[in-house]
Chains A and B, each alone.
Chain A
Amino acid sequence: MYQNTHEPNPEPDLSKTYDAVIVGSGAAGGMAAHVLTAHGLKVLLLEAGKKLNIEKDLKSMQWPYDHPRRGEMPPDDHALTLNEYTIRPRPYANGMRYRHVFSYVQGWSNSDYSKNIVVDEKDNPYTGTSYAWVRARLLGGKTAIWGRLALRLSDYDFKAASRDGYGENWPLAYKDLEPYYDRVDTYLGISGIKEGLPQLPDSLFQRPNKFTASELMFRQSLEKMGRLITPYRAGVTTDGLKHNKYRSKCFGRGACTRRVGGCDIHAAFDSPTGLIYPAMDTGNLTLRTNATVYEITVDKHSGKASGVSFIDTETGKTYQAKAKAVILGASTLESARLMLLSKSPQHPNGIGNSSNHVGHNFCEHLMGPSVLGIVKDLVGKPHTLDDGRPGGFYLPRFRNIAEKNPNFLRGYGFEGEGGMGIFPGHALQTPGFGKQFKKTVRDYAGAFIHMGGFGEVLPRYDNYVEIDPNIKDRWGVPVLRFHITFGENEKNMAQDMANQAQQMFENAGIQVIGVDRKLLTPGWSIHELGTARMGADPKKSVLNQFQQSHDVKNLFVVDGSSHVNASCQNPTWTIMALAWRSCDYLADQLRKGEV
């Protein structure tokens, strides 16, 4: 495996004006860096976190018994629990004695491998309504540990308002984005099989991951209902990428499913090896880490963006960077925060916020409804290799496609998996002890199948974030205050999700042993979207179809904040396709001198 030497530059030349400065190095910022540098533009990429020696952190193949705490993070570190998100006052880490407090994902097993990736809640507080906000500050952002499900959206999403009358259409259609989805597929690699569904367009797939025996049986049963599960469409290169020397093909080791996430051979897409190192190889990219941007600066005469101010997270020193265009890819919530923080006489509500829509129309995917069952035929059977893959299956949306559901708008999909994992979680629920207990655990280890839903949360103006007037983060930057709750549509949808999940399992002859019906805390899906939406009307939207600010022509917001609705399909692939399209447009505009 190629060892990279792409070290950040701690003292980049800030006397010059870059063609573009990008804030954030995750899927969005990384893609912007790739596209703009490929166009020959000189780009400065600022990342708030540091560059980890990530392979050393991830140690994907380490066995539990070779780790001093069987993979668990140190005992004086704490992960917030579901209950704590509900009952604790905000900021959540206030008054906690632990050395570090993390979001809920660090409560999963093998959390020691991701403890340097997710942020410490003590340093990064927020306030307002209950919200499980998962953040990663490091080179690559959340792509270091993302769930890898790489789905396309369709006109059922882009033109949803035309179909059901709710909300706004996107200012573009599937045909506009399709060529860019194709480019993302080809450049980064994606695995799956073609299904020909209009609501979930196929990608240009590399070889698929496979089903386990129980999943294959489930698929066959679903056919009778006119539904299907498809092998997990993973943003993982299964055949390898000839044009990328930093990434190996996937060997089905399965580390990404045993842990919070991460892939130390980078078969799973991550922004540094997939986008940023190749961009650095062009000679056009300057990377500065530990650079927390706290303001977009404004040219007093033109009202356009002149660059950004950032603070070194370790020294506390502040710097200014100048650029012809400013591109935000700091994440849905951080990009909105930054726009709202950037107040000036020209932009008194925050930059790009003449519409008062920045921070609003905050949407995401609801989670909670799920089902667990046992496939009786597999009890006591010899164990097989079931978890050597980036994910199990995806069950695409089937609601409000052909029919109109009387109880809710839009739809949901399920992620799930059947078969055996490395740790028999069912042992904790198996009664008794002794030889019989031990045999039962063994006999049932490969027989479980599970799936959980992701449902579209409707965008509403009154779900929003704003700047908290009192609380600041460790670096003195004012934090976000949340105002987000689920409405009737979400609650009705969740009921249907649980009912359908149970029904589909029962129809397949799976013995259902648990159905969860409750909604989890907002934020749980880590799919926050929509706080600076695109639109044709500058009064009701923040960005145009190229993610360009209606108000400030040289300001682009290329992350999930631009999404007009959440769809029910995972957003990362769409974030990257949109960013590619917008940066092509920006490069063209810069060439013409029109930005």
Chain B
Amino acid sequence: MDDEVLNNTRTTDRGGRVSGPSEDAATSCALRRRDLFKITAGAAVAVQLGSAAVVQPKFFTPEEYAVVDELSEIIIPADEKSGGARAARVVDYIDKKLAEAFEQEERDAFRAGLKVFVETPAAEREAVLARASKNEKHPKTADDKFFRLLKEHTIRGYYTSKIGIHDDLEYKGNVYQQGDYAGYLPTKA
């Protein structure tokens, strides 16, 4: 048994332990995006897609970037309550996610699905989206499937953003509760 363990260990060439990307890289990346957020959020000029000039997309072409930005805002628009996907920079979330995706197939599938929208005149895009959304429970066509994909990415990007969490949902948690906890205790029968 001893020898077996030793032999096997000697022949293994796998070194290193479980580790993620360096924290420094992670932090600086988050900071960059927060800075960007300050520049774009709340500023009406963001609607002009001026951000496309500021942000260098990691995966999308500038044209694709602009279209995804527009589509995400159609899915979760600004309303009387809160900013929408555009203000929340959902396009940057999707762009980064696809740039980093492990499978090339994920990038290819998104780009292929997006193509129709890039080629559709801006005024007609919402109608195409509306058509694709009819079958979202049981998507059949490529457009149907792309709608689901885009919608899921938009939801994940928007509701993990500052605007989604704080302005729209007014989430109350992730705080230190001093004193009593929120909620109700049962009254004894």
| B1 on the A face (CB < 8 A) | yes
Q: Is the CB of A211 within 8 A of B34?
A: no
- Other-chain residue from B157, B161, B174, B185 in contact with A208 (beta carbon distance below 8 A): B185
Stretch of A37-45, A62-70, A449-457 on the interface side:
A62-70
> For residue A313, which residue of chain B has the nearest CB?
B17
For residue A253, which residues in chain B have a CB less than 8 angstroms away from its CB?
173-177
B47 within 8 A of partner (CB): no
* Bound CA–CA A67/B102 (angstroms): 19
Look across to chain A and name the residue whose beta carbon is closest to the beta carbon of B168. Answer: A442
Q: Which residue of B lies closest to A67 (CB)?
A: B30
Q: Is the CB of A424 within 8 A of B169?
A: yes
Beyond A66-B34, A388-B177, A427-B159, is A438–B79 a contact (Cβ under 8 Å)? yes
User: How far apart sit A427 and B160, CA to CA, in the bound complex (Å)?
Assistant: 12
A36–B133 Cα gap in the complex (Å)? 64
CB B80 to nearest CB in A, in angstroms, measures 9
A382 to B129, CA, bound (A): 31
Whether B141 sits at the interface, judged by CB under 8 Å, is no
Using known A-B contacts A193-B185, A211-B186, determine if residue A438 contacts B168 with beta carbons closer than 8 Å.
yes
Question: For residue B100, which residues in chain A have a CB less than 8 angstroms away from its CB?
Answer: 69, 74-75
Judge whether B184 and A428 touch: CB under 8 Å.
Answer: no
**Any B CB within 8 A of the CB of A258:** yes
- Specify which chain A residues have a CB less than 8 angstroms from the CB of B102 in the assembled complex: 75-76, 78, 98
A227 at the interface (CB under 8 A from B): no
Question: Is A422 in contact with B165, judged by CB distance below 8 angstroms?
Answer: yes
* A-B pairs under 8 A by CB, number: 203
Residue of B nearest to A112 (CB): B20
Return A439 CB to nearest CB of chain B, in Å: 7
With A209-B181, A438-B79 known as contacts, the answer to whether A309 contacts B2 (CB < 8 A) is yes
Determine how close the nearest CB of chain B comes to the CB of A26; give it in whole angstroms. 18
Q: Do the beta carbons of A210 and B160 come within 8 Å of each other?
A: no
Interchain CB contact under 8 A, A477 and B74: no
User: Is there an interface contact between A258 and B174, defined as CB atoms closer than 8 Å?
Assistant: yes
For chain A residues 234-283, which have a beta carbon within 8 Å of chain B?
238, 251-255, 258
Q: Check if A209 sits within 8 Å of B183, measured CB to CB.
A: yes
Which residues of chain A in 40-54 are interfacial with respect to chain B, using CB atoms and an 8 Å cutoff? 50
B76 touches A438 (CB 8 A): yes
Known: A341-B1, A383-B171, A472-B8. 20 other contacts (CB 8 A): A64-B165, A74-B21, A75-B102, A115-B18, A210-B185, A211-B185, A252-B181, A254-B173, A295-B1, A318-B2, A382-B170, A383-B170, A384-B172, A388-B172, A420-B173, A423-B160, A424-B169, A439-B81, A474-B14, A476-B8
Could you give 6 example pairs across A and B, Cβ below 8 Å?
Answer: A100-B18, A210-B183, A420-B171, A433-B133, A472-B8, A476-B5
